[in-house]
Amino acid sequence: MTPPKHIWSGNWENESEEDARRRAEAEAERRAHPQPDPAEAPTTVGRAYAPSPDADGDAPRRRPSRGRIAAFTTVALLAVGGGAFAAGTLLDNDDDSATKIARPAALPAVASKPIKPTRGQTRAGAIYAQASPAVVSIRNGQGSGTGFLIDDEGTLVTNDHVVDTAKTVQVKFGTDGRTINGNVKGVDPSSDLAVVHIDASSIPSGAKPLQFADSTGVSVGDVAIAIGNPFGLDRTVTEGIVSSLGRTLQAPNGFQIDDVIQTDAAINPGNSGGPLLDDGGKVIGVNSQIATNGVSAGNVGIGFAVPSNTVRQVLPGLKDGRTVQHAWLGVETAQTVTGSMTAGAQIASVVTGGPAESGGLQAGDVVTRIDGQRINDASDLSSYINTKAPDDKITLTVERNGSKSDVDVTLKNRPAKIP
């Protein structure tokens, strides 16, 4: 099989060799120091999604448009300035009504106990034997990815960028399974998640739905098992560890995904939408993106998964066909201010017509508190907005030209994409 040559079709081909070298060095430094510094140079990242091969097995020579295949865009860590565009508390909006309704309860988290392999069986083998029957390949006509079964009703989880704009996709359990038509029930570009539904009668008898663990219980160094379809190779398993926690990624609509899990379990194009499992076979994340040095299209030991707690929160609404809402402040943070200056998150720009502008925030303001809670850096700002909902009112303490003042802002629903 000839691997795809243009998996990441954003701007990577325009980067100089010096840029690629600098980015690789920056990522190596980040790996040596797990806590990310928002001021560091970003790492080029590509989504782990595989384009459909031509009849001869080669990757298509014609590159799809950026708008059609979100999976191929170049993404940078901390790409929107450290998190001011981060996801807020989630609500669901009925498409037939503008009335905001309370979101369904999150899916339950299940306590995880390590699976004990049988004699002669490896740990990865035991986890694979239990989980792999529930893992599927998903094709949207433009490319292929992975998904997995979460209930006996035929609900499948995958990435938003895997289904893209498709209303129906082709689903397959295993290499010998028949192709099943799946209906896309809901997508959330802000978390890069989607729900696909198949007829329950199409579920193979051996496919047991996967369960979600509580991702706040995950620790660096924990076992991480990825199952997916890299380059169309059905239900491939790879084993590694959780390399870091609290990473951020750019979502398909340009906003930010928080609390991302980093792993060195090998993830390649086609793994997108597949489960990242703990040593008990429970889902701790949905594999979504991989890092690259801007030249190689293969795995370099840095993969990222949307955390299971985000998945658990978003899925009930998507399963019902509702649109998920996210609180939005409408600023971009430039950097974390430290040292002799006032500690906080400095605003680089304010979106015209956004809630921050309406409240009087300006570029250059340093946010030091929200509702009295200390904001030490851009991540704190992101995390706090992440606890709020559209229409919530917040008070930001800001320093401007040496003077402090309080600014009241009413959060809005996040737009479909970054303005």
pLDDT tens digit string along 173-186?
987 778 999 999 99
Is the pLDDT at 370 greater than 60, yes or no?
A: yes
pLDDT score, position 103 = 53
**Percent of the chain, pLDDT > 90?**
45
111 or 296, greater pLDDT: 111
Is the pLDDT at 75 greater than 50, yes or no?
A: no
CATH architecture of 1-76+107-322: Beta Barrel (2.40)
- Give me the residue spans of the domains in the chain: 1-76+107-322, 329-413
pLDDT score, position 341 = 56
Of 9, 112, 160, 161, which residue is the catalytic one?
161
- The whole-number average pLDDT for the span 87-109 is 51
Is the pLDDT at 391 greater than 80, yes or no?
A: yes
Query: Is the distance from CB of 306 to CB of 288 less than 8 angstroms?
Result: yes
Q: How confident is the model at residue 285 (pLDDT cuts 50, 70, 90)?
A: very high
Provide the β-strand partners of residue 336.
345
List C-alpha distances in Å: 335 to 51, 83, 88, 318.
36, 10, 20, 34
Specify the range with the lowest mean pLDDT, choosing from 5-9, 170-174, 230-234. 5-9
CATH architecture of 329-413: Roll (2.30)
SS3 label, residue 59:
coil
Specify the range with the lowest mean pLDDT, choosing from 103-112, 184-193, 310-319, 366-375. 103-112
**Percent of the chain, pLDDT > 70?**
72
Mean pLDDT of all residues belonging to the chain: 77
pLDDT score, position 161 = 94
Is the pLDDT at 382 greater than 70, yes or no?
A: yes
Q: Rounded to whole angstroms, how far apart are CA atoms 224 and 29?
A: 22
- Please give the distance of CA 161 from its chain centroid, rounded to a whole number: 10
161 is catalytic: yes
pLDDT score, position 47 = 52
114 or 56, greater pLDDT: 114
Is the pLDDT at 136 greater than 90, yes or no?
A: yes
Parallel, antiparallel or unpaired: strands 331-337 and 90-93: unpaired
Q: Rounded to whole angstroms, how far apart are CA atoms 400 and 348?
A: 13
Query: Is the distance from CB of 226 to CB of 287 less than 8 angstroms?
Result: yes
Residues 6+ apart with CB under 8 A from 186: 194, 195, 317, 318, 319, 320, 321, 322, 323, 324
278 or 64, greater pLDDT: 278
Of 92, 164, 192, 258, which residue is the catalytic one?
192
Is the pLDDT at 299 greater than 50, yes or no?
A: yes
Is the pLDDT at 371 greater than 90, yes or no?
A: yes
Query: Is the distance from CB of 144 to CB of 229 less than 8 angstroms?
Result: yes
pLDDT tens digit string along 306-356?
999 999 999 998 998 888 888 889 888 756 776 545 788 889 889 888 999
pLDDT score, position 273 = 96
pLDDT tens digit string along 19-55?
344 444 544 554 554 443 333 323 334 456 565 544 3
Q: Rounded to whole angstroms, how far apart are CA atoms 26 and 294?
A: 13
Of 191, 272, 308, 382, which residue is the catalytic one?
272
Domains 1-76+107-322 and 329-413 share a fold: no
pLDDT score, position 62 = 30
Is the pLDDT at 193 greater than 80, yes or no?
A: yes
